[in-house]
Amino acid sequence: MARHDDDHTGARIREQRKLARLTQRQLAARIPYSYSLLNQVECGARPASADFVAAVSRTLRIDVTVLTGQPYVTELQQDRLAALVRPIRESLDLYDLGADPDLTTRPAVQLVAETDWLCAEVRAAHLRNAARVLPGTIAELTTVAWATPSTELWRALASAYRTAHDISVKLGYYDLSTVALDRMNWAADRASDPCLAAVRQYMRALVYFREGEYTIGQRLIASGRRAVSQAEQNREACAVAGQLHLGASVIAARVDRRAVADEHIAEAASLAEAVGDASDVHWLSFGPANVALHRVSAAVEMRRYDDALTQARQVHVPAALATSRRAHFLLDRARTEMELGHTEAALGHLVEARHTAPEQTRYHPGARETISGLVHVARRTPDTLSHLAAWVGL
């Protein structure tokens, strides 16, 4: 299958490099990657990994989305998801307007329960369902929280803002995700909840991780750990602390600090052993299974693909694991298999990821890059791969 030469991350890197008036050798000298790899990425012979894209965007001082091409407007419109984003954006602007006297609201207990349902829908990768309901939930919660403020309502509103962040990230609207996290901080402050504040710092760290700003990401993780240390040291605090360690492990892995990554994973494993499956705590999916999946992710980030595959083959994915987390693991497996030359296995994991979480997979930049890589190395493009490439907009 012929690919569009101007519609892949490497081509966008080439375009932005030329706009910056840099040669390939000049850009390669400024990022921790070889001239040969940069050349292969620009011509589409190798997929651009997330860490590669982050390094280029940081060097050229542009947003990652300029290079990845997200959001995928055509595909979002085809899926009728783009129209769901604007109401979310508008709902985030209601935060400081006080109670709306013209809005009919449901009882607080129903609204609090709905925020949990929204989190569950995102974890199940039902993005459309959550996106439809979320703006109304935020509007009602905003009014009720202003009219009858309570810790429970501010927590619920913070959770709703967190869902707005999750949906925005998964659909590629990173500017909106930043607004949502600011609103989450605003509500968390009113709830005076240190664990919620720590979760927000964890999510901010992942934003900077995506952008390649690893020092800021590490500082945010440290800030989150300080926040959670102020909370009562119960199961909730332990789960949040464990998730912060997992975030720190992936950031350390991205900069190839293996000992640091291993140390954070060991700390997370110890906490997971103590609390067990704590996926119900702030919907973080924390527990022994998530620790195992992060071992794989850390190996992938360090480009230790043999280690990643060995770890992945040892992972037992429990049936109760969040669908979104399961799909992420499948995409890690697909990338690992592709890098090791196991193209059929890589394609199989991509197909499974699509079946598991179609909306999440279609808009995941890692899925696009892995599919791009498979298309390039295929002597004859299988129908399944052709269909996947067309499905993600290649």
Identify the domain boundary among 47, 69, 91: 69
Nearest to 216 by CA among 247, 173, 181: 247
Burial of 101 (0-12, 13-18, 19+ CB in 10 A): exposed
> What are the residues whose beta carbons fall under 8 Å from the beta carbon of 366, sequence distance 6 or more?
50, 331, 332, 335
Residue 373 inside a domain? The answer is yes
In a domain, 265, yes or no: no
Q: Decide which of 32, 54, 69 is a domain's last residue.
A: 69
Contact 38, 16 (CB under 8 A): no
What's the domain count of the chain?
2
253 domain-assigned: no
Q: pTM for the complete prediction?
A: 0.85
pLDDT tens-digit readout, 110-124: 999 999 999 999 999
Question: Using omega within 30 degrees of 0 as the cis cutoff, is the peptide bond preceding 318 cis?
Answer: no
The pLDDT of residue 281 is 92
pLDDT at 10: 87
Along the chain (394 residues), what's the average pLDDT of each consecutive run of 10 residues? 58 89 91 88 83 86 77 67 87 94 95 96 93 96 96 96 94 89 95 94 91 90 95 94 96 93 97 93 93 95 94 91 94 95 95 94 89 83 87 83
Give the bridge partners for 292, in sequence order. none
DSSP 161-193: HHHHHHHHHHHT-HHHHHHHHHHHHHHHHHHT-
Give a yes or no: residue 262 inside a domain. Answer: no
Quote the pLDDT of residue 2.
Answer: 38
Q: Is residue 330 situated within a structural domain?
A: yes
Distance CA 5, CA 44 (A): 8
Given 69, 84, 104, the domain boundary residue is 69
> Does residue 358 form part of some domain?
yes
pLDDT at position 72, please?
65
Q: Is residue 247 part of a domain?
A: no
Instruction: Tell me the CATH number at 53.
Output: 1.10.260.40
Reading the block at residue 133, the tokens are 């309901």
Domain that holds residue 39: 1-69
Q: Is residue 336 part of a domain?
A: yes
Helix (H, G, I), strand (E, B) or coil at 286: strand
Angle, alpha carbons 182-99-126 (nearest 5°): 55
